Amino acid sequence: MRCTTLLSVMALLAVGSLAFPKQPANPIMAIVTTPLSDCYGISPPPAGLDIYGGCIESYYVRWLEASGIRVVPLIWNASWTERKAVLDSVNGALFPGGGLGGEAFTEYLGNATQIFNYATERNALGDAFFLWGTCQGFQVLSVIALQDASLLKCIYHGTDPSMLPLDFTSYQPASVMFGQRAESPINIVGILQNQNSTLNWHSCGINPSDLNADFNSIFKVISTNVDINGLPFISSYESTTNNFFATQFHPERILYEFSDDIIGHTPDDILVSHYLSMFIAARLKLNNHSYPTATDANNAAVENFPVYNLGWGSELYWISGN
């Protein structure tokens, strides 16, 4: 076997004969940035950065990249024209966790609704654009579907953090994410059902008894959980008509965060985390969105922005923006 030398690689690049990774076989996912007000709750911005488009916790980036997904930021408060240009180029978008409240949450929700409507319209046209929500992202998608932010209740206790098994609903066998289809290996279902394998880190949630027809027309609840007081909350759901999925729990932190001994790092915990990022990779490949050129994709990559180590596995990308 011969190794290609650096000089020969450079020569190939010079004449443009290398085959660059193409979408959707090599998918790209946008992560919606966290607003600056919430970033301050994670860490003050480093000195010398004077323009911000928010931040992205690196847990999400590394989790996706471990399953072959490239990542670009989607600046949460950029103009719709700018955000749509990103959405037209990527294969899906992720709404991450966070701790927004008040006017900041209302503004974020309005911009998230534009992304949700875009993805819904694309799916209606047969273009299976992918959406994922984690924790606050799960709650954002819930509120959009419920069309009522008051149904998001911040009354849960003992879930920040906690490791829990999933209490599956009767819908679970038909689920794409956790059901009996080829995309869900049976051992994953067993682990989720019988082990404390999902990391919860939230005080807000959606009580399944508060669901309405608007929500049920879009999403099907796959699992629920209860807090230490026995108060139920929805822990995962998916759309039966759109390529949308969400978890109240945090699969991305399992692999990388060591700030609390409660966080599970067993082989089965890691298997669940990796299964879900691989599941996302498969779902991203169902649409044909693509950047015009490899250069455009590389220029948009999250690695073009500074990342700072906060300790215990936590890193933060600071995203410049207008």
Q: Please name the residues in contact with 283: beta carbons below 8 A apart, sequence gap of 6 or more.
A: 92, 128, 130, 243, 245
- The two three-digit tokens of residue 80, written as one number: 């719709």
Place of tokens 């990022």: 277
Burial class of residue 38, CB neighbours in 10 A (0-12, 13-18, 19+): buried
- Angle at CA of residue 107, ends 103 and 109, nearest 5°: 115
Backbone angles phi, psi at 255, to 5 degrees: -75, -25
Q: Quick one: pLDDT at residue 103?
A: 84
Q: Find the domain containing 243 and state its range.
A: 21-318
Residue 1 falls within a domain, yes or no? no
Neighbour tally for 209: CB within 10 Å: 6
Return per-residue pLDDT of the chain as tens, 322 residues: 455 555 554 444 444 445 678 999 999 999 999 999 999 999 998 888 766 799 999 999 999 999 999 999 999 999 999 999 999 999 999 999 999 988 889 999 999 999 999 999 999 999 999 999 999 999 999 999 999 999 999 999 999 999 999 999 999 999 999 998 756 777 999 999 999 999 999 999 999 999 999 999 999 999 999 999 999 999 999 999 999 999 999 999 999 999 999 999 999 999 999 999 999 999 999 999 999 999 999 999 999 999 999 999 999 999 987 5
**pLDDT value for 51:** 67
Q: List active site positions.
A: 135, 250
Is 7 domain-assigned? no
Q: For residue 124, is it within any domain?
A: yes
Q: Is 27 part of any domain?
A: yes
**118 in a structural domain:** yes
Task: Phi first, then psi: give them for residue 238, nearest 5 degrees.
Answer: -150, 160
Q: What is the pLDDT of residue 49?
A: 79
Count how many domains the chain has.
1
CATH code of the domain containing 86: 3.40.50.880
Is 11 part of a structural domain of the chain? no
Structure confidence at residue 101 (pLDDT): 86
Q: Is 174 among the domain residues?
A: yes
At 16 the pLDDT is 46
Q: Is the pTM of this model over 0.85?
A: yes
User: Could you tell me the strand order of the sheet in which 167-168 lies?
Assistant: 70-74, 28-32, 92-95, 130-134, 244-247, 232-239, 219-226, 167-168
Whether residue 286 is contained in a domain is answered as yes
Cα 275 from Cα 280, distance rounded (Å): 9
